[in-house]
Amino acid sequence: MMNFIFSEGRLDCRSEDGLPMGNITFPAVDERVVNIDHVFTSPVFRGQGVAEKMMDALMAHLEKEGKLARLTCPYSQHYIEKHPQWSHLVER
């Protein structure tokens, strides 16, 4: 199980034991747009779908908040290519 903790411009992911699994930084560009500039998974948790689950949670959060994403992190760009259901949230 993963716990997602949102703070301003940041999503942290922790295991049920409280171990840090990864994070995403997404500083605000303006009132409606955030820049997904870094996706990180702790080495011990790599290859387990952590980054994808964090992006799932972040995109749902952005949709709920009515925000768009600028994708400057290569992983975030790759994620959107594989998950076109979120493409309406990408800044054009």
pLDDT score for 36: 98
Express each pLDDT in 25-61 by its tens digit: 999 999 999 999 999 999 999 999 999 999 999 999 9
Q: Which residues pair with 46 in a beta bridge?
A: none
At how many degrees (to 10) do helices 50-65 and 74-82 cross?
A: 80
CB of 70 closer than 8 Å to CB of 77:
no
pLDDT score for 1: 85
- Class of the CATH-defined domain 2-89: alpha beta
Contacts with 38 (C-beta within 8 Å, 6 or more apart), sequence order: 23, 24, 25, 73
Express each pLDDT in 2-32 by its tens digit: 999 999 999 999 999 999 999 999 999 999 9
